[in-house]
Structure 1
Amino acid sequence: MTGQDDFKPYTGGKLWLAGLVLALTNFMVVLDTTIANVSVGHIAGSLGISTSQGTWIITSYAVAEAICVPLTGWLAGRFGTVRTFVTGMIGFGIFSVLCGLSTSLAMIVIARIGQGLCGGPLMPLTQTMLLRVFPREQHGQAMGMWAMTTVTAPILGPILGGTISDSWSWHWIFFINVPVAIFCVFGALRLLKPAETKREKLKVDKIGLALLILWIGALQIMLDIGREHDWFEDPTIVLLAIVAAVGAAVFVAWELTERQPIVDLRVFRHRGFAVAVAALSFAFGTFFASVVLIPQWLQASLGYTSTYAGYATAFNGMGAVIMSPFVAKMLKKRDPRALVCFGILWIAACNLLRVGWTTGSDFWTLAFPQMLQGFGMPFFFIPLTTIALGAVDPKETASAAGVMSFLRTMAGAIGTSISTTLYANHMTIARSEMVGRLNTDATQQALSAQGFSIDQVRGAIEMTVTQESSTLAINYMFLLSAIIFAGAALIIWLAPRPQRMAGPGAAH
């Protein structure tokens, strides 16, 4: 055994240096969930792959992170919190280097999976360590520091990703993690060793973990490659679908009967938790999909650079930062279900504003709905967590928070895969309809009269069809998103009003 039961929280400069190391680690891990969003076009072009294949870079990280998050408690108990933290940081740095050195789709996807597996435990571990090293009376400050890095990292991710990709190369969006990882590993070894926790010989649900990896892996691969393989016309997709369905069913049955499950599904017996998680999954999956699609559309159809696509999408986080403190105060006086309903409907309304986007839309027409949407995000996330964790027994709070984090991350990955497919399919449909209407003798004669050659006429028609079909497709996705958001907003009223508030920091 190692560690000290009588550990005393830090004070003075040592406390704030330790807090900086932990906050910076959390910032880096959260940053990597969005930094690649605006760089997919650069990466796809460099590796010679399609943009839809480029989204695997995002979904592979999310899926690996989701799988590893439920293991955090076991890893910390078995190997010690600080040791797990340092190992995760070293692994994250190494896989970041491999991501930057990647020369093929397979290499970068494998490296991103490694990043996700190492980074998954870091987010909850930073919160655990902050609560351990800060005195109890300063836990509010510690969680405020943690929350600010969690909120600001997604804002800066697109800006940094776009600026770095345009100014240097996409490889550096991964290489910049390396000095941060070195600093945090060094800081943890120097500052956090006394805060190490006891190690115990804990059993891990190996069968549950294997089943989890099996069915989630099969499902995500099916969603990622389905469109290119003509879905269920291909035996490979059929096999993956069967593996995912059977694997999920066996996983659920096993976890409900296992004494120490890898994912504690028993918390779903609480109606409030089940309803809140359902609303969260639908809403977050839809939200995250738009965060991935919008930068791709801005660059492919409107000619935006990665930098300006990052600026346009980053406005989403500004409103969230402004409104978060107000929502936390309102939560003490208002029904959290009403706040959640308002927040999700607000996001739905912002998606309806986007339905009117055209290829001629200026920057502020594109950025303004992003900013407005940000004002509604805290109404959605903060009260929803209160409803979910307030519905379970106090001793189940940690398990419930882990299940929420797992399903939220999975919803983002699955939502991205499905939306990418729907977007591409609707663009194909719109394209086929537009080609028939534009590729006519009248169009050719009108353009020829303006001095266009036959090749120029064909090029102009092709460019117009590509731009406008993608715009119609993205508008369709916004309309569909608004409908899903509206449904998620109504679902929350099936939950009973929470009878207790979740403990400090449990929301994260």
Structure 2
Amino acid sequence: MSAPAAYTAPAPLQGSARLWGTIALSAATFMNVLDSSIANVSLPAIAGDLGVSSNQGTWVITSFGVANAIALPLTGWLSQRFGQVRLFVTSVLLFVLSSWLCGIAPNMPFLIGARALQGFVAGPMMPLAQTLLLSSYPPALAGLAMALWAMTTLVAPVMGPLLGGWITDNAHWGWIFFINVPIGFIAGFITWTIFHKRETPTRKLPIDTVGLALLVIGVTAIQLMLDRGKELDWFHSEEIILMTVVSVIAFAFLIAWELTDDHPVVDLKLFKVRNFLTGTVAMSIAYGLFMGNIVLLPLWLQSFMGYTATQAGMLMAPVGLFAIILSPIIGKNIAKFDTRRLATVAFLVFALVLWMRSHFSTLSDFNTMMIPTLIQGIALALFFIPLTSIILGGLPGDKIASASGLSSFCRVLFGSFGTSISVTVWQDRTALHHAQLTEMINRGSTASNSALAGLNAAGLSAEQAFSQINRMIDQQAATLAANDVFYASAVIFVLLIPLVWLSRPARSGAGASEAAAGAH
């Protein structure tokens, strides 16, 4: 058994080995990040093809996120137990397998299971790809390595909606997953060829099985409660009550166990550090709002505004343009700024974007809806790196890895929660607005009688005319409901700003650049 102290890090790669190693690691990262956004614009097609509602279709997103979050805290233990290179290549190959299973899914339960597997095996890929990339470059070029990483993680969200939309409109939606197969095989083969002689030492470590079991039970129960609550009428359902009780009990025992265990799967004592607490809470809630809204927007566009998946993808894609331009600049100069100011600007820009979207109507054209998407890229560039700097600022070096893993766990988990909550609130508000608008259709309403007369004059029967008006009401109700979600999200972003200022100034970018890339 090798002792960690005896391990000497290998020298940085040179020449073509470094080039191909960077390409392979970037391809694996690209594939991973792509899968977190490519399915967003395909949800209506997937839900329709598999015969489920749009609300159930969002499980394709949330199952991936929850499983990914659960896997993140295990990365450290797994890499020490099996070696970083073996674990990374195995994760990539299992990701390929799970992607293929997603593509051939005959029904929604099968797809959800395959997506959960995909999310779980994807957990170690991001941090390990980053670690292997940094070991390939000399310290003087670490900034270049992180710039390449940031570009990869920001280009994927741009390509995801475009590629997902085009595939959905021109082929079977399964191809959004099948495209991972050749990329994954090539990335895994090149990585093993170049890095297998640079394997890290392994050692047997105890694993917190009780903590892990409680974590899985608690997270799964609360996600099931959020996903199924709408269709089961929330707390009128015994299943929802049971899921809620199970999650509360599991989390209560988890907290008590993790605070006393010698090798906790999640180091909850980190929450005693003010910057870690405030930064993680702010980032997690903000990311939940962000994910909820980027899933809701294409759902609304395709379900009620007549957009194709390709058109919705074109509208969503520019979100990364400003982020691609600004992120390397922010990362390079992060130490010169008060990160709390940068995070404040990010939250204000997010609030502005969502406020602009809250004024969308059924008459809003493509260009009008494109403007907030472009502006949102500025917020993304000012969001991840400064907040990660706050989270890790002042922590000792031996706590950086644990803190980065725990904050990523919270962020990814809240992303899944935000998706479920946003879609549920949207559907509830749609039903409310539909009921309110329908009340205005009566014999005493001049507008109603005029509309019906116009439709009858166009050759529609009374039944067809009422059906046409109902479709118009559906569209208006869904639009008003989406506006409600956008507006509420904007308000919450503003309310998060004081939380950022409860942290201490974190001017040093030490460690932040490494974790910030993984935050994408």
Provide TM-score, normalisation by structure 1. 0.97
Partner amino acid, structure 2, of 1:170: W
Q: Is the 8 A contact 1:438 1:461 kept in 2?
A: no
Aligned to 1:491: 499
For 1:500 and 1:145, locate their aligned partners in 2 and report how far apart those are by CA, in whole Å.
21
Of 133, 136, 143, the residue aligned with 1:133 is 136
Q: Is the 8 A contact 1:439 1:461 kept in 2?
A: no
- CA apart distance, 1:342: 1.3
1:401-438: CA deviation from partner (whole Å, max 9, x where unpaired): 01111001001000111111100000000001111213
Q: Is the 8 A contact 2:337 2:507 kept in 1?
A: no
Aligned to 2:42: 39
For 2:159 and 2:508, locate their aligned partners in 1 and report how far apart those are by CA, in whole Å.
35
Q: The residue matched to 1:324 in structure 2 has which SS?
A: helix
Which piece of structure 1 moves more, 2-11 or 134-143?
Answer: 2-11
Of 219, 223, 226, the residue aligned with 1:223 is 226
Q: The residue matched to 1:228 in structure 2 has which SS?
A: coil
Aligned to 1:283: 286
- CA apart distance, 1:498: 2.3
Q: Is the 8 A contact 1:336 1:497 kept in 2?
A: yes
1:388-408: CA deviation from partner (whole Å, max 9, x where unpaired): 100422321111101111001
Matches within 5 A, 1:4-153: 5=8, 7-153=10-156
Q: Is the 8 A contact 1:61 1:112 kept in 2?
A: yes
For 2:164 and 2:433, locate their aligned partners in 1 and report how far apart those are by CA, in whole Å.
31
RMSD: 1.5
Q: Is the 8 A contact 1:211 1:250 kept in 2?
A: yes
Aligned pair count reads 508
2:331 corresponds to 1:331: no
2:510 corresponds to 1:502: yes
Q: Is the 8 A contact 2:147 2:328 kept in 1?
A: no
2:398 corresponds to 1:395: yes
Q: Is the 8 A contact 1:270 1:391 kept in 2?
A: no
2:219 corresponds to 1:210: no
Aligned to 1:429: 432
Aligned to 1:386: 389
Structure 1 stretches of 4+ moved >6 Å: none
For 2:91 and 2:206, locate their aligned partners in 1 and report how far apart those are by CA, in whole Å.
20
1:252-277: CA deviation from partner (whole Å, max 9, x where unpaired): 11111111111111111111110111
2:193 corresponds to 1:190: yes
Give the 3 Å change call, closer, same or farther, for CA 328–85 of structure 1 in structure 2.
closer
Aligned to 2:271: 268
Matches within 5 A, 1:139-178: 139-178=142-181
Matches within 5 A, 1:273-352: 273-328=276-331, 331-352=334-355
For 1:142 and 1:380, locate their aligned partners in 2 and report how far apart those are by CA, in whole Å.
20
- CA apart distance, 1:237: 0.5
- CA apart distance, 1:9: 2.1
Structure 2: which 5+ runs fail to align? none
Partner amino acid, structure 1, of 2:397: P
Q: The residue matched to 1:331 in structure 2 has which SS?
A: helix
Partner amino acid, structure 2, of 1:479: Y
Q: Is the 8 A contact 1:267 1:392 kept in 2?
A: no
For 1:196 and 1:56, locate their aligned partners in 2 and report how far apart those are by CA, in whole Å.
37
Partner amino acid, structure 2, of 1:101: I
Provide TM-score, normalisation by structure 2. 0.95
Q: Is the 8 A contact 1:271 1:391 kept in 2?
A: no
Of 462, 473, 477, the residue aligned with 1:469 is 477
Which piece of structure 1 moves more, 332-341 or 31-40?
Answer: 332-341
Matches within 5 A, 1:350-389: 350-389=353-392
For 2:192 and 2:278, locate their aligned partners in 1 and report how far apart those are by CA, in whole Å.
42
Structure 1: which 5+ runs fail to align? none
- CA apart distance, 1:234: 0.6
- CA apart distance, 1:439: 5.2
- CA apart distance, 1:331: 2.9
Q: Is the 8 A contact 1:204 1:262 kept in 2?
A: yes
For 2:149 and 2:472, locate their aligned partners in 1 and report how far apart those are by CA, in whole Å.
47
Aligned to 2:489: 481
- The percentage of aligned residue pairs carrying the same residue is 42
For 2:294 and 2:223, locate their aligned partners in 1 and report how far apart those are by CA, in whole Å.
19
Partner amino acid, structure 2, of 1:467: Q
For 1:281 and 1:230, locate their aligned partners in 2 and report how far apart those are by CA, in whole Å.
27
Q: Is the 8 A contact 1:215 1:244 kept in 2?
A: yes
- CA apart distance, 1:494: 1.0
Give the 3 Å change call, closer, same or farther, for CA 438–386 of structure 1 in structure 2.
same
For 2:479 and 2:165, locate their aligned partners in 1 and report how far apart those are by CA, in whole Å.
21
2:454 corresponds to 1:451: no
